[in-house]
Amino acid sequence: MNPFIIIALREFTSRVKNKTFILMSIIGPLAIGALLVIPALFSNIDEDPKKLLVVDNSYLLLGTEKISRHSFQYLNPEEFDEESAISAVREKEIYDGLLFLPPSENGDPDFILRNTRLYSKGDIGIDLTRDIERRLGKLATEEKLKINGVDPSLVKNSTTIVNIKNLNLTEKGSEASSLPLKMAIGFGASFFIYMFTFFYSAQIMRGVIEEKTSRIVEVMITSVKPTQLLLGKIIGIAGVGLLQFLILIAFSTIIYSVAGSIGLLGSDISEVTPGGAIMENTESQTVLNEVIESFKTFNIPKLIGFFVFYWLGGYLLYGALFAAAGSAVDAEADTQQFMIPLTVPLLITLMLATPMMQEPNGTLAIWLSLIPFSSPLAMMIRLPFGGVQTWEIALSMLLLIIGFLGTTWISAKIYRVGILTYGKKASYKDLYKWLRRK
């Protein structure tokens, strides 16, 4: 068997059989699934309803028996002031708090709202507080309209809600723009590539350092060329990363299917409440439905295919460079001088993600998507937005392949010398000499 294949299989099997890989391959997807499912589970669990005493000197809340699931019991403002109402809450365990609305001599609703106080036994909950604020704000607005001689129902009927639907023109017609989702997919994919590229490239570097310091490499290169050893290590670890990615996709699909089957996705979390309470109706459901519909406008298999190519391309390019950095040092602590320049292109591309998303087909985005050191991230930011020319994708892929071959050639020349160099911290001058050596 070809020594290159033997090295690649060794790197692959040794890492796949590792307990850390097995645990991370299982725990990682489950943790991601938990982050998606657990909040949905808890959002469907009703909190204990609160019972509040209310002293309403303004009579703004008159007739409102409930807000959401929480009930009110009114006290006569002529019989209870603020202090006596607080004492009543303290004495009776059935009450969770007191809502006190002060009187206003001139009937100014703004004065009432500025001085409204909510007392509670412990934490009353931010949702209830916001529901009360929205309800009072709506009622105060209606009261101010009445003071100024305007019928609130006339204003309500005259209010127009504008919701412009963004559409992208396509060859077959038009489709929803889905700008927020495109931004999330683009940045998420590029950040994922950055993390995986850095993580697995660092594994290559550590592996090279371990073999060098343990002197195992001296035995290995007696039967394997340094270039074969380098490529075998890179390809083997690439297989590990690809396997972990496929496991993540499989687990994500299963988690999504299970969550959908038990009603965690697409459930209506709104509630119709009596007494004129603030109702969110189907706002959350509408947003979720829009996201699901927006996903249907994407060519998911195509995006996944591009993602795998650019992830592997970026990893292979940077993996070769990290391997060269590992061969030039005797300890991991000495790699910082080489790692910082290697990671700068990736970090700069991430920092420029916002302007690229604002102008995905602008000059900056086009150039960054063509340069091999930044194209894995930049192109994945651009692709969800559409409008990327076929020649740009083809040229970007070709340059990335050429970039990988070029960095591998450079890294191999450094690797073959550095892997057998001990006791000296290599400098950039030394690397230049190794490159010139025939």
Average pLDDT, the chain: 77
pLDDT for res 297 = 65
Residue of higher predicted confidence among 281 and 318: 318
For helices 226-261 and 19-43, angle between their N-to-C axes, nearest 10 degrees: 30
Residue 400 has pLDDT above 90, yes or no: yes
Could you tell me the two tokens for 352? 């420029």
**0.85 cut: is pTM over it?**
no
Among 94-98, 175-179, 288-292, 312-316, name the one with the lowest average pLDDT. 288-292
Give residue 275's pLDDT: 40
pLDDT tens digit sequence for 197-210: 888 888 888 877 77
Amino acid at 375: S
Residue 235 predicted with pLDDT over 80: yes
**Residue-level pLDDT at 294:** 60
pLDDT band at 258 (very low <50, low <70, confident <90, very high): low
Q: What is the pLDDT of residue 391?
A: 92
- Report residue 398's pLDDT band, with 50, 70 and 90 as the boundaries: very high
Residue 205's nearest CA partner among 315, 312, 322 is: 322
Bigger pLDDT: 403 vs 210? 403
CA distances from 32 to 35, 258, 303 (A): 5, 14, 21
For residue 187, give the nearest of 349, 361, 341 by alpha carbon: 349
Residue-level pLDDT at 433: 82
Pairing of strands 66-67, 117-120: unpaired
For residue 308, what pLDDT is reported? Answer: 87
Q: Is the dihedral of CA 263, 266, 270, 271 positive or negative?
A: negative
> Which residues are bridge partners to 119 per DSSP?
98
Q: Which of 82-96, 221-235, 344-358 has the lowest mean pLDDT?
A: 221-235
Architecture of 51-158 per CATH? Answer: 3-Layer(aba) Sandwich (3.40)
* pLDDT at 367 exceeding the cut of 90: yes
Task: Report yes or no: 61 and 72 within 8 Å, Cβ to Cβ.
Answer: yes
377 compared with 180, residue with greater pLDDT: 377
Q: What is the mean pLDDT of residues 241-265?
A: 69
pLDDT at 397 (0 to 100): 94
Mean of the pLDDT values across residues 80-102? 84
pLDDT of residue 8: 78
Q: SS3 string of the chain?
A: CCHHHHHHHHHHHHHHCCHHHHHHHHHHHHHHHHHHHHHHHHHCCCCCCCEEEEEECCCCCCCCCEECCEEEEECCCCCCCHHHHHHHHHHCCCCCEEEEECCCCCCCHHHHHHCCEEEECCCCCHHHHHHHHHHHHHHHHHHHHHHCCCCHHHHHHHCCCCCCCCEEEECCEEEECCHHHHHHHHHHHHHHHHHHHHHHHHHHHHHHHHHHHCCHHHHHCCCCCHHHHHHHHHHHHHHHHHHHHHHHHHHHHHHHHHHHHCCCCCCCCCCCCCCCCCCCCCHHHHHHHHHHHHHCCCCHHHHHHHHHHHHHHHHHHHHHHHHHHHHCCCCHHHHHHHHHHHHHHHHHHHHCHHHHHHCCCCHHHHHHHHCCCCHHHHHHHHHHHCCCCHHHHHHHHHHHHHHHHHHHHHHHHHHHHHCCCCCCCCCHHHHHHHHHCC
The per-residue pLDDT for 322 is 87
| pLDDT level of residue 280 (50, 70, 90 thresholds) | very low
For 147-163, the pLDDT digits (tens) are: 778 887 887 777 777 76
CB 405 within 8 A of CB 321: no
Q: Which of 24-28, 40-44, 198-202 has the highest mean pLDDT?
A: 198-202
> Any idea which residue has 């340069």 for tokens?
371
Residue ranges per structural domain of the chain: 51-158, 177-226+290-436
Q: What is the pLDDT of residue 268?
A: 43
pLDDT of 279 reads 42
